[in-house]
Amino acid sequence: MNDTMNSKNEVSKLDEIMNKLSPDERAFVSGLIDKDPLTGLYNRRKFDQDIELVVSMSGRGNKGSGLLFIDIDHFKKFNDEYGHQRGDQVLREITQSIEQNLRDYDKIHIYRYGGEEFVIIVSDVSIKDTFQIGDRLRRAVKESSGLTISIGISHYKEISGDLKSLINNADNALLEAKRKGRDSVVIYGKAP
């Protein structure tokens, strides 16, 4: 409970500071706060804000939203073998490959979730469409980098009815993709 209260206090304080800035200054500071400096993607903090908005908008009559949790397979081993500078280069290459294989309006919902983990929110899609997007990304990353990725998928409407289960289900599907042998796409609750 204290973590939630502290987080809300921090957001309130940040809003207070941001409101004192000009629009240009606000945009500049937001970019620093919300973007991952290595990949240029939005970060986990921005994901936590955006996912609530996307889910609430999904309730307005569209097909729903797909959530893809992506992890680069054996990336720690790659870094140990080739070094972190090469690892950083590969993260940028994979980011580019992912961006090139998404619809323009989905590119604004790609996030670097952690070290070698990415999250993508795709709006107004069915679970079948979400799977096809995931599989296309899996193949594109493998072709462009030689590395493989595992993807876990959940869907707001067809699988999950609330934000917490949407995120947990995608994370659990990612774990299943890894258990399955990696280089795969798994939909939560569907037999691999």
Catalytic residues: 116
Tokens found for residue 114: 């952690």
154 vs 171: CA distance, rounded Å: 8
CB-based contacts of 145: which residues, under 8 Å, 6+ apart? Answer: 90, 93, 94, 97
Give the strand pairing for 185-187 and 149-156: parallel
Tokens found for residue 13: 């304080």
29 vs 44: CA distance, rounded Å: 16
Q: In this structure, what are the phi and psi dihedrals at residue 60, rounded to the nearest 5 degrees?
A: -100, 35
- Which residue type, as a one-letter code, is found at position 57? M
Beta bridge partners of 114: 117
* Residue 111: its H or E element: strand 110-114
Give the strand pairing for 117-123 and 110-114: antiparallel
Location of structure tokens 């090139």: 100
